[in-house]
Amino acid sequence: MVAARPVALVGLSGTGKSTVAPLLATLLGCRPVDLDRAVEEDHGCTVGELFERGEDVFRDAEARALTDTLAGGPSVIATGGGVVLRASNRRALASADVVWLRAPVAVLVERLAGHAQRRPLLDGDPAAALSVLASEREPLYREVADVVVDVDGLDPAAVAAEVARRLDPSSSHGVSAGHGGCPGG
């Protein structure tokens, strides 16, 4: 299967978007893009440093990177967890096949143990922060998602394989409806 249009992975921190994207890109025959890394390269600083200038500064940079990446042809995009916060980003995601990688907060806390300090919105109490983010963002993930994959108990390769299977138009379980349709559809 070769992706004919972008695939965007959305979900909370710790769901594996950045790890799954290159694996899925290999399966789909396209390039992986980590949106946070693209923002960092464009601005010459870390996401954390951009957040220090204000969340709006980061969100503006993220929106530009998303638009540019979506216009760049077939790719698998590991988005930031908050990309869905802006209505303009949710509209832009309609040009991609959007896959929501989902896991319970307790699983995400375990996965992020020791890494939360690198994530600006998880400082302090990651479990409480993730619970708040989940309640705010899950309706937005649901709004944009063509496919939902529960990642709890799956290794990254299994997640990538499941996403590829679900996106394959020749599969009886492939995407056939929704705002995104099949890759190339």
Q: What is the pLDDT of residues 118-127, one digit of tens each?
A: 555 556 677 8
Is the residue at 1 inside a domain? no
In a domain, 180, yes or no: no
> Average pLDDT of 28-54?
92
Q: Are 87 and 113 in contact (CB under 8 A)?
A: no
Centre a 10 Å sphere on the Cβ of residue 37 and count the other Cβ atoms it contains: 14
The reported pLDDT for the residue numbered 173 is 41
Cα-trace Rg, the chain: 15
What's the total number of domains in the chain? 1
* In a domain? residue 106: yes
User: Phi first, then psi: what are they for 101, rounded to 5°?
Assistant: -90, 120
For 36, the token pair is 């946070």
- pLDDT at 95 exceeding the cut of 50: yes
List, for residues 135-147, the tens digit of each pLDDT value: 999 999 999 999 9
Q: For 50-79, how does the pLDDT look when each residue is reduced to its tens digit (9 = 90+)?
A: 888 988 999 999 999 999 999 998 999 999
Q: How many CB atoms lie within 10 A of CB 4?
A: 16
Query: How far is CA 122 from its chain centroid?
Result: 17
pLDDT-above-90 percentage for the chain: 65
**pTM for the model:** 0.86
Q: Is the pLDDT of residue 40 over 70?
A: yes
| Residue 103 forms part of a structural domain | yes
Domain of residue 89, CATH code = 3.40.50.300
Residue 172 forms part of a structural domain: no
Higher-scoring residue by pLDDT: 47, 25: 25
Q: Which residue range(s) make up the domain with 113? A: 7-167
| HEC letters along 110-136 | HHHCCCHHHCHHHCCCHHHHHHHHHHH
Asked whether the beta carbons of 49 and 139 are under 8 A apart, the reply is no
In the beta sheet, which residues pair with residue 133?
Answer: none
Record the tokens describing residue 23, joined without a space: 């694996």
What is the pLDDT at residue 55? Answer: 86
Q: Does 69 map to a domain?
A: yes
In the prediction, which pLDDT does 126 show? 76
The pLDDT of residue 2: 62
pLDDT the model gives residue 172: 42
Quick check: is 176 in a domain?
Answer: no
Residue 116: predicted pLDDT: 45
| Dist. CA 110–CA 45, nearest whole Å | 28
